[in-house]
């Protein structure tokens, strides 16, 4: 396999989407969505992808990579051919769902495009029913896609494009054998696109096995001190961390805080300690049932939970544009992972805060972090923290409805019922999420009882649905 030299074009030039050979419907939709100029990853990778070339791209979360490969897939799609023409593999169901929604949004003006999510945590029967009528674009997790291939309920014979999204995390999660099996079911003549937040040697090896003369695009856009305030705090031992964590939460008072731990058990233990201390906290890890994972992410994203304690793998797929603070309860083992963690805050023009708790045992990791930064670490003193502020509770409450996409429920149905029938002020209604089986709506705490009573006793699309508050 012959690699070209990695592309490192200037990220300062703003190029319009109109300079690309995209279908008019895609350009019109981008304009209607307010997308005028390309992000660096889009500007550098889209021209190659639109030519049908294989591409390996390294770019951080939130860089616009989903729109990049989504536009490339949609541009070459033959909507009259109801067969799987593109497969997008993601490490987690959460990321697969977000990618599905993003591609659906890009395809709004393209008629009759069918996009299907094949991920775990959803009954096979629902997916089998959808597959009977085929789909143009499949988004899914390796395990569930392989299960459909084994059952011969999915055919990739006409596949044109294979996308490996967050490829580094798929390898970390042990999906290599699944990916190899899936690739063996794809046509040899295809386009393969590999996107990754980090670029370890394993990614190069993956490219050697599954790709043809891939072009490399490496977007180096590290956050600066102007994007993120990054502070480090010392304690003498692991046992002293929780007291410091409580002081940090009360001092900085972020509306939403993502806390990273290095093990699944730590996420559960730490979240319980926070709840016992009267903080609004939830844990997210790979041992949880899928519906529980869905509800945790939805509650954190719609601000009806203030603190999410997660592992790196579990946090992949979180797409929260305005996350005020990230706390490293444990330092990451690798510098790239540390940068990826703190890069979840300070996005889309917002200021971010990244706090790291350290012990003397972290000396080697701290040296690696400082070596790779363009500025010295900022250490703060623990006795400067003011922890006298009261614990605050989230403004929003999540109500879950036992009806979802399978019942043809749309966000507008819920919004209309709450405003027109329940007489709630529009500003009291927050984020609405629709999954295959359930719908979730965030309601301001002051109006949550009124909304809950209506949803329990009223009607949605002419029928009663069960409703419950998530606590």
Q: Which residues of 392-410 are buried (b: 16+ CB within 10 A; e: fewer)?
A: eebbbbbbbbebbeebebe
| Strand boundaries in 235-359, DSSP class E | 257-260, 281-284, 307-310, 325-328, 352-358
Q: Is 213 helix (H, G, I), strand (E, B) or coil?
A: coil
The pLDDT of residue 52 is 94
Options 2.60.40.1220, 3.40.50.300, 3.30.930.10, 3.10.20.310; CATH of 228-384: 3.40.50.300
Does the global pTM surpass 0.85?
no
Class of domain 17-218: alpha beta
Asked if the domains at 17-218 and 228-384 fall in one CATH topology, the answer is yes
Determine how β-strand 137-140 pairs with β-strand 86-89: parallel
The CATH number of domain 396-469 is 3.30.70.330 = yes
What pLDDT shows up at residue 12? 45
Residue 323: partners with Cβ closer than 8 Å, 6 or more residues away: 256, 258, 344, 345, 347, 352
Q: Domain map of the chain by residue range?
A: 17-218, 228-384, 396-469
Paired tokens of 28: 């019109």
Q: Mean pLDDT for each 10-residue chunk of the chain (471 residues)?
A: 46 78 94 89 95 89 86 95 95 86 92 91 85 92 94 95 91 86 94 86 84 87 64 95 95 93 94 95 87 90 94 73 90 85 78 94 90 84 82 89 88 90 91 90 94 86 88 83
- Residue 211 has a pLDDT of 92
């Amino acid at each position: 396999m012959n690699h070209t030299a990695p592309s490192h074009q200037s990220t300062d030039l703003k190029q319009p989407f109109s300079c690309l050979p995209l279908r008019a419907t895609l350009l019109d939709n981008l304009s209607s969505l307010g997308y005028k100029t390309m992000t660096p990853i889009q500007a550098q990778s889209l021209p190659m992808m639109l030519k049908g070339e294989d591409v390996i791209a390294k770019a951080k979360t939130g860089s616009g990579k989903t729109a990049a490969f989504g536009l490339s897939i949609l541009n070459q799609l033959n909507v009259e051919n109801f067969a799987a023409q593109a497969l997008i593999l993601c490490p987690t169901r959460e990321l697969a769902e977000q990618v599905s929604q993003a591609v659906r949004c890009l395809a709004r003006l393209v008629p009759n495009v069918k996009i299907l999510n094949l991920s775990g945590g959803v009954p096979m029967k629902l997916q089998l029913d959808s597959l009977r009528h085929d789909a143009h674009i499949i988004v899914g997790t390796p395990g569930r896609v392989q299960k459909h291939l084994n059952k011969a309920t999915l055919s990739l014979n006409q596949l044109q494009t294979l996308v490996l999204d967050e490829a580094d995390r798929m390898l970390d999660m042990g999906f290599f054998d699944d990916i190899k099996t899936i690739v063996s079911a794809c046509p040899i003549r295809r386009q393969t696109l590999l996107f990754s937040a980090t670029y370890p040697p394993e990614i190069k090896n993956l490219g050697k096995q599954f790709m043809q003369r891939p072009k490399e695009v490496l977007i180096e856009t590290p956050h600066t001190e102007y994007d993120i305030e990054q502070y480090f705090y010392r304690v003498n031992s692991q046992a002293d961390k929780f007291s410091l964590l409580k002081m940090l939460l009360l001092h900085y008072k972020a509306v939403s805080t993502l806390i990273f731990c290095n093990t699944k058990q730590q996420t559960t233990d730490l979240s319980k300690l926070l709840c016992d201390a009267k903080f609004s906290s939830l844990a997210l890890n790979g041992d949880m049932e899928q519906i529980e994972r869905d509800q945790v992410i939805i509650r954190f994203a719609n601000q009806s939970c203030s603190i999410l304690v997660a592992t790196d793998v579990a946090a992949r797929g979180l797409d929260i544009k305005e996350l005020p603070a990230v706390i490293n309860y444990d330092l990451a083992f690798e510098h790239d992972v540390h940068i990826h963690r703190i890069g979840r805050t300070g996005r889309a023009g917002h200021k971010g805060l990244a706090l790291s708790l350290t012990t003397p045992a972290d000396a080697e990791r701290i040296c690696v972090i400082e070596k790779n930064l363009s500025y010295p670490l900022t250490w703060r003193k623990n006795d400067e923290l003011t922890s006298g502020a009261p614990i605050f509770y989230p403004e929003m409450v999540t109500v879950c409805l036992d009806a979802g996409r399978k019942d043809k429920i749309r966000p507008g149905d819920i919004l209309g019922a709450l405003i027109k029938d329940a007489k709630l002020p529009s500003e009291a209604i927050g984020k609405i999420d629709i999954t295959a089986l359930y719908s979730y709506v965030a309601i301001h705490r002051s109006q949550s009882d009124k909304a809950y009573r209506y949803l329990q006793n009223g009607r949605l699309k002419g029928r009663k649905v069960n409703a419950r508050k998530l606590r």
